[in-house]
Amino acid sequence: MDMRAYQLEALKTDQVPRPAQAADADSSLVVPLLGLAGETGELLTEYKKRLRDGEAHRMFKDRVSEELGDLLWYIANVASKFDLDLNAIAESNLKKVRDRWGEGRVAAAVDFDAGYPDAERFPRRFEMEFTEVMVEGRVKMRLLKDGKPVGNELTDNAYDPDDGYRFHDVFHCAYAAVLGWSPVIRKLHGRKRKSNATVDEVEDGARAAAIEEGLSAMVFEYARLHNFLDGVAALDYSLLRTVKEVTSQLEVSKCGLGSWEKAILQGFEVWRELKRHSGGRVLVDLNAQRISYQGEPSKTIHG
């Protein structure tokens, strides 16, 4: 049966229909919402009986089917009372789960550089070195490309004297590798797409870079509360949804949740090595959509 057709048929059996006056709508909404909670409890009760009685609970599948049907009725009823289409809900949900767990997890990187001159395109493979330097008695991180410093020397900018945020440029490297996107790395490499003034301003400009920096800080705080993602194989959906919402007006919105998850997990995998070894060399491979730790850095030097 078509889900929209089911929704309309289910509504005909509603015993607490939506009143004409919006101010009186509470009762018509609270009943199906409580019904969802109650039927979920009934479903769990049937499973409890199955655990207790095993094969002796011969009606288990029939009871589960019945409880799922009741849940579906209440879902349809709630959707109707919020003026939502059950078909649209189902399609949106499938899109979300495919994006997260289906093809979104193995999607090829979007080529945001297509059609631009070579001098404005990301190099497909490059190495960055993260090296600690001592400056006036303070440890700072210096980022090197082709042996030459790029960007600013960084501290952790934190009360914690060693929280490791000074290595956060590795997250930008991960975004470049997996997503093919990073306004920060693009600027460091001198690869802004100046041949298109609008793209240069919107996609490669200060606002996009600020959004990327903000995301890095937000994800770092999430990771800090989750053992810096050591042993973590999947991220909370709420985090990934926020990332997608914050970047919804940028070209990287074409990248799915699975790609973002891959970039974040890889970034922290390498970040943990950088922190453990006080720096190191990192290979960024856009073709393989991967970054990897290549070895320890040069010895700490005085700047």
Report pLDDT digits (tens) over 74-128: 999 999 999 999 999 999 999 888 888 877 666 677 899 999 999 999 999 999 9
Q: Is residue 149 located within the same domain as residue 38?
A: no
Report the CATH number that the domain containing residue 30 is assigned in CATH.
Answer: 1.10.287
Domain boundary among 61, 84, 107: 84
Q: Is residue 124 located within the same domain as residue 65?
A: no
Q: Is residue 171 located within the same domain as residue 273?
A: yes
- Residue 154 forms beta bridges with which residues? 141
How many distinct structural domains can be found in the chain?
Answer: 2
Q: Is residue 73 located within the same domain as residue 136?
A: no
Domain that holds residue 239: 118-302
Q: What is the pLDDT of residues 230-267, one digit of tens each?
A: 999 999 999 999 999 999 999 999 999 999 999 999 99
DSSP-derived letter for residue 180 is S
Evaluate if residue 143 carries a pLDDT over 80.
yes
Q: Is residue 51 located within the same domain as residue 190?
A: no
Q: What's the pLDDT score for residue 48?
A: 96
Q: Specify whether the CB–CB gap between 153 and 301 falls below 8 A.
A: no
Q: Which residue has the tokens 């990897």?
A: 292
Q: Is residue 94 part of a domain?
A: no
Q: Is residue 132 located within the same domain as residue 262?
A: yes
Q: Is residue 146 located within the same domain as residue 275?
A: yes
CA dist 296 and 278 (Å) reads 8
Q: Is residue 137 located within the same domain as residue 78?
A: no
Q: Is residue 33 located within the same domain as residue 146?
A: no
Q: Is residue 109 part of a domain?
A: no
Q: Is residue 80 part of a domain?
A: yes
Q: Is residue 61 located within the same domain as residue 179?
A: no
Evaluate if residue 303 carries a pLDDT over 50.
no
Q: Under 8 Å CB-to-CB from 45, ≥6 apart: which residues?
A: none
Evaluate if residue 290 carries a pLDDT over 50.
yes
Evaluate if residue 280 carries a pLDDT over 90.
yes
∠188-189-195 over CA atoms, to 5°?
A: 110
Domain boundary among 60, 84, 108: 84
Query: Other C-beta atoms within 10 Å of 107: how many?
Result: 19
Q: Is residue 92 part of a domain?
A: no
How remote is the C-alpha of 240 from its chain's centroid?
Answer: 3
Q: Is residue 43 part of a domain?
A: yes
Q: Is residue 93 part of a domain?
A: no
Q: What is the pLDDT of residues 171-224, one digit of tens each?
A: 999 999 999 999 999 999 999 999 999 999 999 999 999 999 999 999 999 999
Domain boundary among 84, 101, 130: 84
Q: Is residue 173 located within the same domain as residue 261?
A: yes
Q: Is residue 22 part of a domain?
A: yes
Q: Is residue 97 part of a domain?
A: no
Q: What's the pLDDT score for residue 252?
A: 97
Q: What is the pLDDT of residues 47-78, one digit of tens each?
A: 999 999 999 999 999 999 999 999 999 999 99
Helix 237-246 and helix 257-276: axis angle, to 10°? 100
Q: Is residue 199 located within the same domain as residue 54?
A: no
Q: Which two tokens stand for residue 194?
A: 């100046």
∠29-36-70 over CA atoms, to 5°?
A: 110
Report pTM.
0.85
